């Protein structure tokens, strides 16, 4: 089962011929991911990494029956690329690129929500369902098929969580990096909902960081909707509070935002929290007993 | 990126948003000329720094003679202003904005900001504007109004009318306010702003709405297409080492401790600092070398962390994904040799090409400790730096 992607997922890569996209797509192909085509405007008819290239998502989808897309195009072109994928009925869209202007993201989010597509990212490591499908830039070898669902705002902390759940022998059902931007395509709650419904997932790791109020919202959701055990780490207990300009940020977030407040909200929701990232593995073993 | 008040007000004028008349002063010799073109016998002297809380800190003063204006300008220009929103060192005052004062009947709070929860631009307003707005938000939350804008259609006259209704504005003020909010929204979107805050937006004795203060933040990710605004950047308002790091595309914040950290990814960098602190050490910095790091970048990162003289040990923690550990390792080796680093270094490499990286470090025969367990690596650097202070 797992969530979002599996061995039947048919993936297109938008921007396949770029250097980062080539490096990571080759790894994904070696991992067994079913990459069916690439989309690079102006390069129709070429083959790259043994995969055919089309000019548009419409052609790629129609001719290779794709249902997911991973986007590596530069930030100024991401709005176009994401909306192209969504308008053409791609269900799961992963955007790795960082540095997309926020105004673009507001428009992207409104457009794709109407279409019912799911966007993971931008500015994220992507999604992996171990041994089945890898849509992202994560190192493959640390993963192991198993029972822990991982959702995180931070890329490298996702790897750390994966590494530990593998080390304690539990492995992962699916790992989702939702990205660190202020306007992400999906947030914790979207992914928690999927993990709760997934039979393979027995426990959940949620990794947050300081800033915003998404962890607090997730805690509220967990309290009333999640029955599976959740283990959580929040990065930034020791981070200094940043220089602020004006008052509007403080007015919106209210008391939310600090690591302490997020821990408190999660603990109130019955989440098992750890204060060091290295304690995740042990905590998982305890909650999954 | 933050704009100064005078830069923000220039942008306001472009959108025909009502604000006060003012002139910028960068040298005391300009004062006479400015005072004779603006106002008559009263002026507001405003220090231009990237921080709020200027009024309470003495950075905004009302003067009623040219002599007093001269004294205040000479006091402020070239000084450092410390407010509750700056560091203890304060921000350099390199320019001063001089305005004519206006007679105020009411102070309104108005802000446009990107709201992460709704993924929309939010309009925040309050009839209780002024310097105590955060207290108003805490103690009288019902006095803070929040409305969000649907990005598909943009700001709608009806929602502006509703805001005026809730602010209890009369007919003439309402029509000014509706017009003003639509202009601010247009400015926000066209310039890729992430914050516009007008506090206070005043009702003058003459019955006009005027933006007295102006705070604008520009979305850093959009600067590539906002070239004009990018020219408004004022490097003197940034921490020197942080500025140097950002020019090298490194995300660096200096802290008070002695153990320098070099990490890939902001989350892992914070988690590494948390670990050092948990085991009784003190991190000297936050440093995220980012995803596109190469040997040269690693050497530059070493230069920045070593320019902090408090540092007596370095913990390097890399979990390679997009970053390849072998590239980091050769950067570490090169930097250690070239810069003749004698401080203890503990390296933890995991993920993409970690084995190749560790092999390189072993083969280099340099005094670099490798430790693949992150807990042990953190404890090790604390142990090695103890007694070195």
Q: What is the pLDDT of residues A39-97, one digit of tens each?
A: 999 999 999 999 999 999 999 999 999 999 999 999 999 999 999 999 999 999 999 99
Question: Looking at CA atoms only, how far is residue B6 from chain A in angstroms?
Answer: 15
Question: Looking at CA atoms only, how far is residue B45 from chain A in angstroms?
Answer: 19
∠ Cα B21 B22 B24 (to 5°):
160
The answer on pLDDT for A281 being more than 60 is yes
- pLDDT-derived band of residue B229, with 50, 70 and 90 as boundaries? very high
Which position has the higher pLDDT, B290 or B167?
Answer: B167
What integer pLDDT is reported at residue A210 of this predicted model?
87
Mean pLDDT value across residues A10-35: 96
Contact between B87 and B12 under an 8 Å Cβ cutoff? The reply is no
What integer pLDDT is reported at residue B52 of this predicted model?
84
User: Which of B253, B283, B289, B209 lies closest to A156, judged by CA?
Assistant: B289
What integer pLDDT is reported at residue B379 of this predicted model?
95
- Tell me if residue B97 is catalytic: no
> What is the side-by-side strand order in the sheet with B43-47?
B22-25, B96-99, B43-47, B60-63
Mean pLDDT value across residues B52-66: 91
Distance between CA atoms of residues A287 and A204, nearest Å: 10
- pLDDT-derived band of residue A254, with 50, 70 and 90 as boundaries? low
Distance between CA atoms of residues B256 and B275, nearest Å: 16
Helix %, strand %, coil % of chain A (to 5): 40, 20, 40
Mean pLDDT value across residues A216-224: 96
What integer pLDDT is reported at residue A223 of this predicted model?
97
- pLDDT-derived band of residue B45, with 50, 70 and 90 as boundaries? very high
Catalytic residues of A: 247
φ and ψ at residue B47, rounded to 5 degrees: -65, 135
Task: Give the number of other Cβ atoms within 10 Å of residue A259's Cβ.
Answer: 22
The answer on pLDDT for A243 being more than 60 is no
pLDDT per position as a tens digit, B66-100: 999 999 999 999 999 998 888 788 889 999 999 99
What integer pLDDT is reported at residue A239 of this predicted model?
78
Strands (E), A130-250: 133-136, 145-152, 172-177, 203-209, 230-235
**Subunit contact B195:A182, Cβ cutoff 8 A:** no
Distance between CA atoms of residues A206 and A191, nearest Å: 10
The answer on pLDDT for A255 being more than 70 is no
Which distant-in-sequence residues (6+ apart) come within 8 Å of B386 by Cβ? none
pLDDT per position as a tens digit, A155-187: 889 999 999 999 999 999 999 999 988 899 999
Kind plus residue range of the DSSP H or E element containing B239: none
pLDDT per position as a tens digit, B108-143: 999 999 998 899 999 999 999 988 888 888 899 999
Q: Which long-range contacts (CB under 8 A, 24 or more apart) does B80-85 make?
A: B81/B47, B81/B49, B81/B51, B81/B54, B81/B57, B82/B57, B83/B49, B83/B51, B83/B52, B83/B53, B83/B54, B83/B56, B83/B57, B83/B59, B84/B53, B84/B56, B84/B57, B85/A243, B85/A244, B85/A245, B85/B51, B85/B52, B85/B53
Distance between CA atoms of residues B246 and B234, nearest Å: 14
Kindly state the percentage of chain A with pLDDT values over 90: 85
Q: Residue B222: which of A101, A163, A214 has the nearest Cβ?
A: A101
Question: Looking at CA atoms only, how far is residue B103 from chain A in angstroms?
Answer: 24
pLDDT per position as a tens digit, B208-223: 999 999 999 999 999 9
Kind plus residue range of the DSSP H or E element containing B292: none
The answer on pLDDT for A244 being more than 70 is no
Which position has the higher pLDDT, A242 or B133?
Answer: B133
**Subunit contact B270:A106, Cβ cutoff 8 A:** no
- Global pTM value: 0.91
A238: which chain B residues are within 8 Å (Cβ-Cβ)? Answer: 270, 273-274, 277, 283
Kindly state the percentage of chain B with pLDDT values over 70: 99
- Closest-CA residue of chain B to A239: B270
Q: Residues 68-127, chain B: which have Cβ within 8 Å of A?
A: 85-87, 111, 113-117, 119-122, 124
Q: pLDDT averaged over chain A?
A: 93
User: Which of A69, A82, A95, A79 lies closest to A9, judged by CA?
Assistant: A69
N- to C-terminal Cα distance for chain B? 37
The answer on pLDDT for A238 being more than 60 is yes
**Subunit contact B111:A247, Cβ cutoff 8 A:** yes
Q: Which two tokens stand for residue A282?
A: 């042990």
The answer on pLDDT for A201 being more than 90 is yes
Largest CA distance in chain A: 56
What integer pLDDT is reported at residue A245 of this predicted model?
60
DSSP B2: B
Window from A115-124, A262-271, B146-155, B247-256 with minimum mean pLDDT = B247-256
pLDDT per position as a tens digit, B302-360: 999 999 889 999 999 999 877 889 999 999 999 998 888 889 999 999 988 899 999 99
Q: Where are the alpha helices (DSSP H) in chain B?
A: 5-14, 31-37, 66-76, 133-139, 157-167, 171-190, 227-230, 240-247, 266-278, 295-306, 325-338, 354-364, 374-385
A251: which chain B residues are within 8 Å (Cβ-Cβ)? Answer: 111, 124, 133-134, 137, 144
């Amino acid at each position: 089962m797992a969530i979002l992607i599996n061995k039947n997922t048919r993936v297109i890569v938008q921007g396949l011929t770029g250097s980062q996209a080539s490096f990571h797509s080759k790894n994904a192909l070696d991992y067994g991911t079913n990459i069916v085509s690439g989309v690079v405007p102006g390069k129709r008819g070429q083959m790259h990494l043994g995969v055919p290239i089309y000019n548009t998502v419409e052609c790629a989808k129609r001719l290779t029956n794709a249902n997911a897309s991973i986007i590596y195009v530069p930030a100024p072109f991401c709005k176009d690329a994401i909306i192209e994928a969504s308008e053409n009925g791609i269900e799961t869209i992963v955007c790795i690129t960082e540095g997309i202007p926020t105004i673009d993201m507001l428009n992207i989010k409104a457009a794709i929500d109407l279409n019912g597509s799911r966007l993971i990212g931008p500015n994220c490591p992507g999604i992996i369902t171990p041994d089945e499908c890898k849509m992202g830039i994560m190192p493959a070898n640390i993963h192991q098929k198993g029972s822990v669902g991982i959702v995180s705002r931070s890329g490298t902390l996702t790897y750390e969580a994966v590494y530990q759940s593998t080390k304690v022998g539990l492995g992962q059902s699916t790992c989702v990096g939702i990205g660190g931007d202020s306007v992400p395509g999906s947030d914790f709650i979207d992914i928690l909902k999927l993990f709760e419904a997934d039979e393979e997932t027995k426990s959940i790791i949620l990794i947050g960081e300081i800033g915003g109020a998404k962890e607090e919202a997730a805690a509220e959701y967990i309290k009333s909707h999640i029955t599976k055990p959740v283990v959580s780490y929040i990065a930034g207990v020791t981070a200094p509070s940043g220089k602020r300009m004006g008052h509007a940020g403080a007015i919106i977030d209210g008391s939310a935002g600090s690591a302490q407040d997020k821990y408190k909200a999660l603990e109130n929701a019955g989440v098992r929290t750890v204060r060091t990232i290295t304690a995740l593995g042990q905590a998982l073993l305890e909650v999954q007993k | 990126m933050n704009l100064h008040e005078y830069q923000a007000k220039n942008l306001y004028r472009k959108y025909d948003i009502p604000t006060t008349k003012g002139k910028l002063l960068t040298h005391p010799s300009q004062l006479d000329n400015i005072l004779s073109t603006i106002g008559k016998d009263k002026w507001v002297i405003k220090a231009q720094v990237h921080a709020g809380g200027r009024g309470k800190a003495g950075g905004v003063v009302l003067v009623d003679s040219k002599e007093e204006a001269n004294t205040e300008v000479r006091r402020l220009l070239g000084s450092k202003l410390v407010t509750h929103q700056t560091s203890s060192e304060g921000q350099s005052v390199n320019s001063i904005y001089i305005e004519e004062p206006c007679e105020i009947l009411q102070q309104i709070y108005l802000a446009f900001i990107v709201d992460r929860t709704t993924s929309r631009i939010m309009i925040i307003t309050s009839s209780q504007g002024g310097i105590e707005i955060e207290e108003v938000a805490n103690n009288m939350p019902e006095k803070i109004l929040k409305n969000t804008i649907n990005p598909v259609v943009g700001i709608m006259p009806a929602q502006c009318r509703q805001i005026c209704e809730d602010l209890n504005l009369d007919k003439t003020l309402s029509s000014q306010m509706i017009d003003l909010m639509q202009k601010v929204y247009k400015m926000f979107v066209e310039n890729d702003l992430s914050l516009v805050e007008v506090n206070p937006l005043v009702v003058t004795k003459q019955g006009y709405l005027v933006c007295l203060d102006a705070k604008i933040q520009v979305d850093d990710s959009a600067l590539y297409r906002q070239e004009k605004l990018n020219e408004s950047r004022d490097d003197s308002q940034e921490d020197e080492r942080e500025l140097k790091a950002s020019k090298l595309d490194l995300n660096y914040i200096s802290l008070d401790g002695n153990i320098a950290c070099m990490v890939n990814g902001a989350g892992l960098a914070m988690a590494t600092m948390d670990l050092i602190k948990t085991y009784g050490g003190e991190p000297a910095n936050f440093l995220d070398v980012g995803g596109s790091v190469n040997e040269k970048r690693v050497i530059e990162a070493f230069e920045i962390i070593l320019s902090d003289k408090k540092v007596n040990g370095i913990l390097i923690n890399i979990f390679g994904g997009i970053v390849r550990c072998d590239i980091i390792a050769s950067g570490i080796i090169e930097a250690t040799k070239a810069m003749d680093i004698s401080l203890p270094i503990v390296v933890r490499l995991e993920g993409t090409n970690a084995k190749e990286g560790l092999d390189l470090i072993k083969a280099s025969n340099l005094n670099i400790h490798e430790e693949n367990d992150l807990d042990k690596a953190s404890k090790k650097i604390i142990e090695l730096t103890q007694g070195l202070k």
